[in-house]
Amino acid sequence: MDRETERLVWYILGATRGGPMRMRIIGTLINRPQNMNSLARELDVNYRTVEHHINILIKSEMVVEEGEGYGKIYFPSALVEKIYDEIVAMMKRRGMNV
């Protein structure tokens, strides 16, 4: 992972208060892309919480969406899929419980 990507990943997933939730969302999507309702149930959080964090992840190009309306499915971006193991290792090095 290049330095610029590492800084972005750390800021979005580690350095902000919502980072741990965003990391949980990405980890869940790596295992199984799904819609927001399924994510909220699986993570045992409010739908609005998932919606907020998904929007941040989309804006930072870490998550992509396919489909429309309630059928919209969320996937980790190609970059996140490629560097996911590096992301997990970086978070662990920096003390995040992943």
Give domain limits for the chain: 3-93
The per-residue pLDDT for 77 is 98
The string of pLDDT tens digits covering residues 34-66 is 999 999 999 999 999 999 999 999 999 999 999
Average pLDDT, the chain: 95
The per-residue pLDDT for 1 is 84
Tell me how far apart the alpha carbons of residues 55 and 31 are, in angstroms, rounded to a whole number.
19
Confidence of residue 95 (pLDDT cuts 50, 70, 90): confident
Tell me how far apart the alpha carbons of residues 60 and 93 are, in angstroms, rounded to a whole number.
22
State whether CATH 3.20.20.70 applies to domain 3-93: no
Tell me how far apart the alpha carbons of residues 3 and 42 are, in angstroms, rounded to a whole number.
33
Closest by CA to 87, choosing from 3, 25, 15, 10, is 10
Confidence of residue 8 (pLDDT cuts 50, 70, 90): very high
Lookup: tokens for 20:
């741990």
Helix (H, G, I), strand (E, B) or coil at 22: helix
Whether 91 and 23 have beta carbons less than 8 Å apart is answered as: yes
Q: Tell me: pLDDT of 20 over 90.
A: yes
The per-residue pLDDT for 18 is 94
Backbone phi and psi for residue 61, each to the nearest 5 degrees, phi listed first: 60, 35
The per-residue pLDDT for 70 is 81
